[in-house]
Structure 1
Amino acid sequence: MAITKQETYAFDLEKTGNFFAILNYKDSDVTEEKSECLFCDDVIYTYVKPTFMDRISDVLHEQYYQILLENISKLPKGALFIIFGFLLFLNISMLSIKERFQLQ
């Protein structure tokens, strides 16, 4: 390998098992065209599509709870009783469903 002074080598392990020194031939008649930088001063953005869990965590970490707690204090007293009653009956109904499935 040192004798050939090549940069790249290849093995054909599947068929012949031969060792190849790959020659990159450069034609002297061909001239390289110099072109200006196509990506100079460009900004490349990578867009990652948010998953469902990313959207949920965005909702949980935003200021929605702060806004909700600020606005709950502005509600009239009757609305708070309705919300509390709804949550109480929701809890009771969930417990009754849980007990029904445990008996069967």
Structure 2
Amino acid sequence: MKLLRWTSALCLVGAVGAAQAAGQPDPNLARNLAATCANCHGTNGRAVAGAGNDALAGVDKDKLMQKLRDFRSGAKPATIMHQISKGYTEAQLELIAAYFAAQK
């Protein structure tokens, strides 16, 4: 009987947690997605001077989105950005661009 109560309690807690997770977006999603850019573009888009990669922090969101779209389409040549940009949805790219635009 105790096992049944324990199992029921766990199921209830799991169901409540899943319902909450489904209803609320991750408040850190943009930051987490943008973190994948740090290896080349620096932490929070602040590139190391002389490293050869553009700083992303503070760049206008529309400008970043245009660059990402150009990489994705092949209009802008790249060594790896054309592949990376294809790995994200349009909505994810919008989040990333907005995140970097907000960094000052």
In which range does the TM-score fall when normalised by the shorter chain?
under 0.3
Q: More helix per residue: 1 or 2? A: 2
Q: More strand per residue: 1 or 2? A: 1
Higher relative contact order, chain-length normalized (CA < 8 Å, sep 6+): 2
TM-score, with normalisation over the residues of structure 2?
A: 0.22
TM-score, with normalisation over the residues of structure 1?
A: 0.22
* Bigger radius of gyration among the two: 1
